[in-house]
Amino acid sequence: MTDASLASPGRPSLSSRLLLIFLGCCFAAMLVVSLMQRFLHPQLVVPAQTAGSAQTDSSMDGQIGALMQKLGENPNDVETMLHLVQHLITIENWQAAETFAQRAVALDALNDKALYLLGYIKHNQNQNRDAALLLEKALAVKDDAHIRYSLGMIYIYFLNDAERGYSHLEAALKAPGVDDDVRARIEEELKKKNGR
């Protein structure tokens, strides 16, 4: 006799129930690991998007196509290039985003947004030393709470230089234009420091 013949009508067999339990345990384990990674390795501030946050793939493709066409007409348009970089970051096309961000920096070496986006890309490619150097350059151009927060997070969690990282977070609280979301993140990180 098989498991199927022992199961009563409308009730799953023993092997089906065991499989469901196993899959449920796997799902729970993935959730726990994911939450632990998110807690232990917080992300940098995501660059502001140029359009609505909930976009379909086809509308994103259309916007990328339109930006590419605009760049084809004016290859030195840094602002359009940076909008394109942000869209490429959104779809996690890191290679293309890096190429256009590097072009933007080559065209305008003192553009803090271009430096920041290139640093953000480098961080997402696990090139955290390069990311920190780029963010330091962006900070030299413009003292910005978002840049300081991102730089602090890289030093604390990825470059093992907590002292330097916390000094950036403390300075970020005093930087012009710190918004409530970033302020709350910074304060949470500083609580962790004081709890050590």
Q: What is the pLDDT along the chain (196 residues), one digit of tens a residue?
A: 444 444 455 666 777 677 667 666 655 556 555 545 554 555 665 555 434 444 556 778 889 999 999 999 999 999 999 999 999 999 999 999 999 999 999 999 999 999 999 999 999 999 999 999 999 999 999 999 999 999 999 999 999 999 999 999 999 998 877 899 999 999 999 998 877 5
DSSP conformational letter for 8 = P
Do 107 and 35 reside in the same domain of the chain?
no
Do 121 and 164 reside in the same domain of the chain?
yes
| Number of other residues whose CB lies within 10 A of the CB of residue 167 | 15
Do 104 and 21 reside in the same domain of the chain?
no
Do 78 and 116 reside in the same domain of the chain?
yes
- The answer for residues whose C-beta is within 8 angstroms of residue 53's C-beta and 6 or more apart is none
Domain assignment present for residue 2? The answer is no
Do 146 and 65 reside in the same domain of the chain?
yes
